[in-house]
Amino acid sequence: MKYSLMAGGKRIRPVLCIAATEAVGGKADDVLPAACAIEMIHTYSLIHDDLPAIDNDGFRRGKPTCHIAFDEATAILAGDALLTLAFQILSSIELKNEHYALKWLSVVHAISRAAGYQEMIEGQMRDISSEGIMLTLNELEEMHSLKTGAIIEASIYCGAIIGNGGIEQMRQLEIYAKNIGLAFQVTDDILNVEGDPKIMGKAVGTDKNRKKSTYPSIMGINKSREFAEKLAGNALQSLDGFDNRSDPLRAIAGYIIKRKR
């Protein structure tokens, strides 16, 4: 568990969770349990994704994947344990009052839905079943909104609700989340074509080898890059009504489409 969780990574999801809390005037410390739980769930999903039965990847975050460093059984159990530990942490919050308890119940619900069969798991299944099939852009967007976008959206929602975000703030942050979630995946698709494995810490060209539909395979690299920039612009526009406490969210929107890993 520690080997995979502490291997590095961008920590985009927990950072988004904390940044959303601060954007609506909340304190980072208040949302740390949710941020940590989300990163554990993300790491569990990577461990299982890398298994021979799914993507059969040998490197992740610049290190041998969990099943290579140990064995398949250990990797499966490490992923299972990280998933359950996440909910152990979420349910161990000291509940100050009934209103606070209802907020954390909403957080648990949002994260469990995003990580479950209706969203992330369904997205993973669509990804597996679509290998060798040319998807339409709408089908590709829907798959990625489930596989990648759901947890990103949940990260921002959880940060905003714990930070006492208002109705309009929550609505605008939802728009922000949907746009950067898709921009993140479009950029991932681009990096899988032209990224540097040494910087990324994992292999490139795997999407083509597995005959997966991606934004570059459908739109081409240049159009994909333009699309990612448009999505980032939409995300930034949704923050127009926020003050400088949302500057970390603005910076993340730029980072997502310019990153090299």
Whole-number Å distance between alpha carbons of 124 and 110: 18
- pLDDT score of 62: 87
Residue of 44, 98, 104, 97 whose CA lies nearest to 75? 44
Whole-number Å distance between alpha carbons of 179 and 141: 11
The predicted model scores a pTM of: 0.94
Structure tokens at 28: 């980072």
Distance, first Cα to last Cα, the chain: 22
- pLDDT score of 229: 96
A 10 A CB-CB count for 27 gives 12
Which domains occur in the chain, in start order? 2-258 (1.10.600.10)
- pLDDT score of 200: 83
Helix (H) or strand (E) holding 63: strand 63-64
- pLDDT score of 101: 87
Structure tokens at 25: 């005037």
Q: Which residues lie across from 75 on neighbouring strands?
A: none
Residue stretches of the chain with pLDDT short of 50: none
- pLDDT score of 198: 83
Tokens 């609506």 label which residue?
24
CA 185 to chain CA centroid, Å, is: 9
Residue of 191, 184, 192, 203 whose CA lies nearest to 141? 184
State pLDDT tens for residues 201-259.
888 888 888 899 999 999 999 999 999 999 999 999 999 999 999 999 999 999 999 98
Do residues 128 and 54 touch, judged by C-beta distance below 8 A? Answer: yes
- The per-residue b/e assignment along 242-260, b for 16 or more CB within 10 angstroms, e otherwise, is beeebebbbebbebbbebe
3-class DSSP state of 60: strand
Tokens 């988004």 label which residue?
16
- pLDDT score of 201: 82
State pLDDT tens for residues 183-192.
999 999 999 9
